[in-house]
């Protein structure tokens, strides 16, 4: 009985390691997009709270800086992926660009909050709403 369980475990491990490279890239990209969408939402909510006079700039700036750092880690991890086919390269480029756009916009938001530039904060809140939705759609692709 133990022998059969061991054989089944080995077969499952080998099958998991031999997956389609395009699907693996899509899975990694979708996971990164979902993680980034969550951080974008956190940053957007903190900034909107400043605009609504429900949160001061200093704590909002810290929340946004933390989200920015988390997005950077997600993007760096995703960028270590190695596309193996033309299709996986297209997937890589699409997700990498989306992560970069999110990171750039959260950085702009942090700078605007630090400089008390509420006009730019409002603009970034709108932009991050759209970016978050786009990331959400990308995150659904692998499901």
pLDDT of residue 66: 99
Whether the predicted pLDDT of 11 surpasses 50: no
Structural domain for 35, as ranges = 21-140
d(Cα 43, Cα 106) in Å, to the nearest integer? Answer: 7
Contact of 135 with 98, CB cutoff 8 Å: yes
Report the domain count for the chain: 1
- The answer to whether residue 6 is domain-embedded is no
- The answer to whether residue 126 is domain-embedded is yes
- The answer to whether residue 107 is domain-embedded is yes
Whether the predicted pLDDT of 9 surpasses 80: no
- The answer to whether residue 7 is domain-embedded is no
Q: pLDDT tens digits, residue range 95-105?
A: 999 999 999 99
- The answer to whether residue 131 is domain-embedded is yes
* Predicted model pTM: 0.85
- The answer to whether residue 111 is domain-embedded is yes
């Amino acid at each position: 009985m133990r022998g059969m369980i061991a054989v089944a475990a080995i077969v499952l491990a080998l099958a998991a390691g031999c997956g389609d490279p395009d699907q693996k890239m899509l899975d990694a990209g979708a996971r990164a997009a979902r993680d980034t969408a969550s951080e974008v939402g956190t940053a957007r909510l903190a900034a909107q709270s400043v605009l609504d006079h429900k949160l001061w700039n200093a704590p909002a700036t810290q929340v946004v800086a933390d989200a920015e750092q988390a997005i950077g880690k997600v993007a760096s991890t995703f960028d270590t992926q190695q596309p193996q086919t033309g299709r996986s390269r297209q997937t890589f480029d699409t997700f990498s660009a989306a992560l970069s756009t999110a990171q750039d916009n959260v950085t702009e938001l942090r700078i605007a909050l630090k400089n008390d530039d509420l006009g730019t904060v409002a603009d970034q809140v709108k932009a991050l709403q759209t970016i978050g939705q786009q990331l959400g759609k990308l995150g659904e692709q692998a499901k």
